[in-house]
Each structure stands twice: as C-alpha cells, then as structure tokens.
Amino acid sequence: MLKFITIIIFTMLLSACSNMANLTLYQQLDGKAGLERLVDSFINQIGNDEQIIHYFEHANISHFRAGFINHLCVLTDGPCEYTRDSMVEIHTGMHITEADFNHVVDLLINAMNEQNIAHSVQNKILAKMAPLRSQIIKI
C-alpha cells in the first residue's frame, strides 16, 4: 500500500514538473501581476538599503518601476517588447562597483523570497540576468 502511494505521489510530482517545464518563466511568476509585486518588493528593498539608495537619488521611481517590469517581462519570455533605454545608456556614469552589483542581486533575492518565488524559478531568473552585468557595472 505504502509503495502504491509512493508511486502515485512520485507520478504526480513528475507530471507537476513536466507541466511547469511547459510554462514560461513569465507564467510561473504569475504574469504581469506577479512581476509588479516582485518589482514593488525590490524597490522597497532598495529604499531601505543605505549602501544602494544613493544610486537612485535622482531617479524617477515610477519610470524605473515600469522599465524594470518591462525588462523582466522580456527576460522571462512574457508577451512584451523591450521599449526602454539600453542597459549601457542607463548605467553609464553611475560607476557601479562589483560589490554593489552583487549587493543588489542579494536585494533582488530578498524580494523574490518575500514573494515566495520557488528556488528553481529564482535561479532561472538570475541566469537570465547574469549576462547583463557587463552592461551595468564599472561604466
């Protein structure tokens, strides 16, 4: 009996996994609403962080919010087109250090945890964003 139940649970898990695999990251994040919640958490994290907040001193937060939601939508294969300034244009002159970049990654992870985003989904998002680093730091 126990064996039977184990097999059923295992099969359910497997099918759950394969269903997840068919969904885009965007869908796994609950689409636009999920991205909005995530970016709001992230902005809240930044707002409360002494190390990072100074980079946003002259930033228009609603512009940043819309831009980041749009960018995440594109990165997670959502139904969006990238309509914002290039990463290089946005970050030129900010002189973001390696350490501060990684600290922002920490804040994004905090925000993803706050939104109860699954560990594997978090990693896939980070994997999509990691290649952008060279267009962001030390410029």
Partner 1 sequence: MNRLKLLLVCVTTFAVFDSFASQGKLLATPGVSQIEGSGGGGIVPWAQLAGYASEDEFAVNGFCSRADVTDYSLDVCGAQINLFNRVELSYAQQNFAVPALDTEIEQAVTGVKVRLYGDIVYSDWPQLTLGAQHKSLDDGTVATLVGAEDTSGTDIYLAASKLHLGAIAGYNWFWNITTRYSEANQLGLLGYGGTNGSEKLLFEGSTAIFLSREIAVGVEYRQKSNNLGLGEQDWQDLFVAWMPNKYVSVTAAYLDLGSIAGAPDQTGWYLSVTGYW
Tell me the C-alpha distance between 82 and 73, whole Å.
9
What single-letter DSSP state applies at residue 18?
H
Min separation Cβ 69 and partner 1, Å:
21
Min separation Cβ 31 and partner 1, Å:
19
Min separation Cβ 1 and partner 1, Å:
29
- Residue 19 makes contact with partner 1 by CB under 8 A: no
Task: Confirm if 127 and 54 have CB atoms less than 8 A apart.
Answer: no
- Max distance between CA atoms of the chain, in angstroms, equals 66
Compare residues 37 and 103 and give the one whose CB is closer to partner 1: 103
- In the numeric block, the tokens 């994290």 are attached to 45
- Residue 2 makes contact with partner 1 by CB under 8 A: no
Task: Confirm if 36 and 72 have CB atoms less than 8 A apart.
Answer: no
- Interface residues with partner 1 (CB under 8 A)? 17, 97-99, 102-103, 105-106, 109, 118-121, 123-124, 126-127, 130, 133-134
